[in-house]
Amino acid sequence: MQLACSKCAIRDWSPADEADLVRHADNRNIWRNLTHMFPHPYTAADAHQWFATLAAMPEPTHWAIEVDGHAVGGIGVSIGEGVFSKKADFGYWLGEPYWGRGIMTDAASAVAPYAMERFGLCRLEAAVFAWNPASMRVLERCGFVREGISRAGVFKDGQIIDEIDYALVDCGRLTSASSRLTHTLG
């Protein structure tokens, strides 16, 4: 997979990214805003585990954000199962030296529609910790709507905090596909 954005490129992770991944991911300020799935400290063993996880997928649903030829962050979707198969959790992180340059707004606004189209999704969800206004701004600029607050929904870094729930919904493509199917069958 390869998506060209104006400030970065989105592409598949490669084991050759190990040093860049560990360099940028091993950061408490990133860990603090992500779920328990994201380790801290972030070691070479964690990078190996990550590449193995991606290699085991039929098709990767998480990608590297590349700037100046280096992987400096990650973005992707975790697709639901069963009745949740048309929605996914949307997540991302960026190496701290690159914050505040509009890179994630650029990346997320390209990846969100790509992932919805590629995996036949009609809903992307993003849960943001209350102390993370930069991520809320990224989502809002990408068209996500703030749907509510899970009060005291998160225990992170020794604190109980609210989780702010965002979603991007686009069922038009699926609805028209199913109408076409109904029409064909009819």
Ligand X SMILES: CC(C)(COP(=O)(O)OP(=O)(O)OC[C@H]1O[C@@H](n2cnc3c(N)ncnc32)[C@H](O)[C@@H]1OP(=O)(O)O)[C@@H](O)C(=O)NCCC(=O)NCCS
Residues near ligand X (CB under 6 A) are 30, 33-34, 92-94, 99-105, 126, 128, 132-135, 137-138
Smallest distance from ligand X to CB 27, Å: 8
Smallest separation, CB 58 to ligand X (Å): 26
Of 87 and 135, the one with the shorter C-beta distance to ligand X is 135
How would you write the chain as a 3-class SS string? CEEECCCCEEECCCHHHHHHHHHHHCCHHHHCCCCCCCCCCCCHHHHHHHHHHHHCCCCCCEEEEEECCEEEEEEEEEECCHHHCCEEEEEEEECHHHCCCCHHHHHHHHHHHHHHHHHCCCEEEEEEECCCHHHHHHHHHCCCEEEEEEEEEEEECCEEEEEEEEEEECCHHHHHHHHHHHHHHC
Least distance in angstroms from the C-beta of 124 to ligand X: 12
| CB of 87 vs ligand X, minimal distance in Å | 16
96 vs 173, beta carbon nearer ligand X: 96
Question: Whose Cβ is closer to ligand X: residue 101's or residue 146's?
Answer: 101
Nearest to ligand X of 59, 68 (CB atom): 68
